[in-house]
Amino acid sequence: MLAKWMTIHNKQNPFYELFDDICDIMAEYDVCFSLGDGLRPGCIADAADKAQLSELKTLGELTQRAQERNCQVMVEGPGHVPFNQIEKNMKLQQKYCNHAPFYVLGPLVTDIAPGYDHITSAIGGTAAGFYGASYLCYVTPKEHLGLPDIDDVRQGVVAAKIAAHAADVARGFGNASQRDKQLSIARAGFDWKNHIELSLDPKTAGKFHQEACKKSGKTSEKDDFCTMCGKDWCSMRINKELAKAYKK
């Protein structure tokens, strides 16, 4: 709409012309800019094209002007980027935008998965987070197909949380990997309660576990076998038997 207004009136973007005045207002009320990217790639064939990178340089200019006026700034990033170009995109943003926090929409690493774009975005989101993105925007399974409902939003948020956590683990942030270790210990000890509670989506994990218990004949949480292989073939149960035999 803004581009159409500029074309009809043959004038510069009014928000660009008045940016310094807008900065003064933002600074007075301590509001953070989220500088959007209207020319972000809408398919992987457009990734890192002249339009996207030219706009990124302009966003870098606006970031500097905002920071000079004591404004908080974050910058919105691409959309659709092949996996092998994600690192380049993250580094260019850090270079042009003075390391302002980068907020990316995925990015989606392929265009051929309508109905599963929460997955394609999570793949790209992990890489983006590893190479320096600060925030991940969730993408729902309905992306490119329609408006999401509550369940679509939930799936998208969980997928984004998985991607963000995986990036935190890879970068060694805080004690992110400690949660993985705690869950693994619970899993090895048949501690199903903590195994489920430590998961990113306890609701779904609990539902799947209960369904599997019914199918495997598991009647108690104290049963010493998992619900994937069943009692006869549970490797964890067999390993415990071997450990006891070895001690004897």
CATH code for the domain of 107 = 3.20.20.540
The residues that bridge with 102 in the sheet, in sequence order, are 75
Q: Extract the tokens encoding 100.
A: 């302002």
Same domain, 29 and 128: yes
pLDDT, one tens digit per residue, over 195-231 is: 999 999 999 999 988 888 877 665 555 566 666 666 6
Same domain, 229 and 204: yes
pTM, rounded to two decimals: 0.86
CA 232 to chain centre: 39
Q: What is the reported pLDDT for 234?
A: 75
Question: Could you list the residue range(s) of the whole structural domain that residue 133 is in?
Answer: 2-173
Q: What is the reported pLDDT for 215?
A: 76
pLDDT, one tens digit per residue, over 48-59 is: 999 999 999 999
- Structural domain tally of the chain? 2
In what order do the strands lie in the sheet containing 73-76? 33-35, 73-76, 102-104, 135-136
Which of 29, 40, 35 minimizes the C-alpha distance to 13? 35
Question: Confidence class of residue 174 from pLDDT cuts 50, 70 and 90?
Answer: confident
- Pick from 173, 203, 228: which residue ends a domain? 173
Same domain, 15 and 138: yes
